[in-house]
Amino acid sequence: METRSNRPDITTPMSSDRAVWLNGGQAPCETLPGTPKEVQRLVLLGAPGVGKGTQADLLHQWCGACHLSTGDIFRAAKGLPPGERTPAIERALSFMTRGELVPDETVLALVRERIRCLRCTGGFLLDGFPRTVAQAEHLDRLLKAEDLPLSAVIDYELPMDKIVERLAGRRVCASCKSVFHVTEELSSPETCPQCGGKLYQREDDRPEAVRVRMKAYHLSTEPLIEFYRRRGLLLAISAEGTPHEIFQRTLDALALRHALPNPAPPFSTSGH
């Protein structure tokens, strides 16, 4: 049981509005992150529903780096009037609704357009990208060219039956975007306890789409675990327990990694 006193200490050193990441192009971020003592450039891996987004938000509050989710780019695009969506985005959204991966070239074009977020002095927390070996190789080349080594790659691990249970019960607030689970104590299953907004189930959390997403994860994303292990960047973290317990494990693993010499050069390009 989690109490206030056993929660890890989170300060809010900086904040950022992610306008560049969500909107691309020349959109300016109004709140820029400061320069932390130690810049964190992290990739968060793990099956859909394992809690990467929640951990990214906690990590953001801890170190100030922006939470960069490629899924959020597509969800932001979904909110645009159809006339403002590019044909590439329209096509991407149809893959997303079915639970399939969006083709690499579309995702990579969106990330290249947002290179300023990778260069950000506040670091970054990549969530949902890379998701295929081709995307990871591309990111590797991009970061190498920019001389921006990754700090670590965190793989959140949870048994498949628990993941499916989390996804099926996940509800999102349409207004403040907070995420809840139907088993939480909600005074109404349809109303956000934080802002009173309407709770809904993501289209891709419905059972048909969840099956497709899990297949895509096994086929395309799981190989990234080995890809990053070989580069000496992987930290495997159990995603059992409360968000703050998982977060504390993450901080412990990062601290330990920092205390030990790096087992492999961050930009090893040999074998994968």
Positions annotated as catalytic residues are 52, 131, 170, 202, 213
The answer to the question of residue 138 lying near ligand AMP (CB under 6 A) is no
The answer to the question of residue 166 lying near ligand AMP (CB under 6 A) is no
Please state the closest distance from residue 11 (CB atom) to ligand AMP, in A.
27
The answer to the question of residue 107 lying near ligand AMP (CB under 6 A) is yes
C-alpha 149/C-alpha 171 separation (Å) is: 35
The answer to the question of residue 118 lying near ligand AMP (CB under 6 A) is no
The answer to the question of residue 96 lying near ligand AMP (CB under 6 A) is yes
C-alpha 35/C-alpha 19 separation (Å) is: 18
Write the burial class of residue 143 (CB in 10 Å: 0-12 exposed, 13-18 middle, 19+ buried): middle
Site for ligand AMP in 196-225 (CB under 6 A): 204, 213
C-alpha 8/C-alpha 14 separation (Å) is: 18
**102 vs 154, beta carbon nearer ligand AMP:** 102
Question: DSSP assignment of 238-271, as one string?
Answer: E--S-HHHHHHHHHHHHHHHHHSPPSS-TT--S-
The answer to the question of residue 128 lying near ligand AMP (CB under 6 A) is yes
Please state the closest distance from residue 259 (CB atom) to ligand AMP, in A.
31
Number of H helices and E strands in the chain, helices first, is 11, 8
Residue pair 230/263 in contact by the 8 Å Cβ criterion: no
The structure tokens 């297949």 sit at 215
Instruction: Tell me the residue number closest to ligand AMP, measured at CB.
Output: 71
Kindly report whether the peptide bond that precedes residue 8 is cis, defined as omega within 30 degrees of 0: no
Please state the closest distance from residue 171 (CB atom) to ligand AMP, in A.
15
The answer to the question of residue 68 lying near ligand AMP (CB under 6 A) is no
**74 vs 124, beta carbon nearer ligand AMP:** 74
Residue pair 179/170 in contact by the 8 Å Cβ criterion: yes
Q: What angle do CA 164, 250, 35 make, to 5 degrees?
A: 120
The answer to the question of residue 71 lying near ligand AMP (CB under 6 A) is yes
The answer to the question of residue 95 lying near ligand AMP (CB under 6 A) is yes
Provide the residue type at 113 as one letter.
E
Question: Residue 166: phi, psi to the nearest 5?
Answer: -65, -45
The answer to the question of residue 99 lying near ligand AMP (CB under 6 A) is yes
**63 vs 139, beta carbon nearer ligand AMP:** 139
**124 vs 129, beta carbon nearer ligand AMP:** 129
Please give the structure tokens belonging to residue 129. 């990208």
Contacts of residue 216, defined as CB under 8 A and 6 or more positions apart, other chains included, come to 99, 100, 101
Residues in binding contact with ligand AMP, number by CB under 6 A: 18
- From 2-10, 99-107, 180-188, 261-269, give the range in contact with ligand AMP by CB under 6 A: 99-107
The answer to the question of residue 102 lying near ligand AMP (CB under 6 A) is yes
Query: Rule CB under 6 A: which residues touch ligand AMP?
Result: 48, 69-71, 74, 95-96, 99-102, 107, 128-129, 131, 135, 204, 213
